[in-house]
Amino acid sequence: MVTNPQVRLTVRDYLSIPEDDENRYELIDGELYMAPAPSWRHQRGAFRLCDALDKFVYANGLGEVAIAPIDVYLSDEDVFQPDIVYISIERLDIIHPNGVHGAPDLVVEVLSPGTERRDKTLKSARYAMFDVREYWQADPVAKTIAVLRARDGVFEHVGVFGEGMTLETPLLPGLRVDVSAVFDYYVPQA
């Protein structure tokens, strides 16, 4: 769902959505978007990836990791709900009771058919603009994780890690994520 593009919404409008509304929304550059409930494949991949990140970050005292739904307030017209966020220990002050107020060090989006284009275009540009240091796009169908690193307000592709590969990144030295394990789960047949 896209709202009337001539009406620019703000965080105040976003916060006025009734609490009993069970839909997931994001405010991107003043426009309200609704996302359908994630699929089984999406949720399993997000959980496995979050689990690997969280165990590493916790064991090394590097900060905090959270999984959706969590509001990330980037501006008065941008409130995102990324699938996974990592905030370094030096920046824990951006964590507030109602969400994250500022750019996480790492944002992970698990791609879904209904949101993939938005994740790769609109959200990617906004994440870079607001200084997210690294952005991962996990594709549960292709079983890949694309790693993008911010440089001068835009993301550069670091690499695409697929089955049989180990994801490593300078953002979290020593982290080794077995991509095959992230996407190794039961897939219900249609």
Of 51-55, 62-66, 69-73, 182-186, the range with the lowest mean pLDDT is 182-186
pLDDT at 96 over 50: yes
d(CA 45, CA 140): 6
Q: What percent of the chain has pLDDT over 90?
A: 82
Q: What is the set of domains in the chain, with CATH numbers? A: 38-182 (3.90.1570.10)
| Mean pLDDT rounded to a whole number for the chain | 93
Nearest-5° angle of CA 39, CA 99, CA 41? Answer: 10
Measured in whole angstroms, the distance separating CA 133 from the mean position of its chain's CA atoms is 12
Rounded to the nearest angstrom, the gap between the alpha carbon of residue 58 and the centroid of all alpha carbons in its chain is: 19
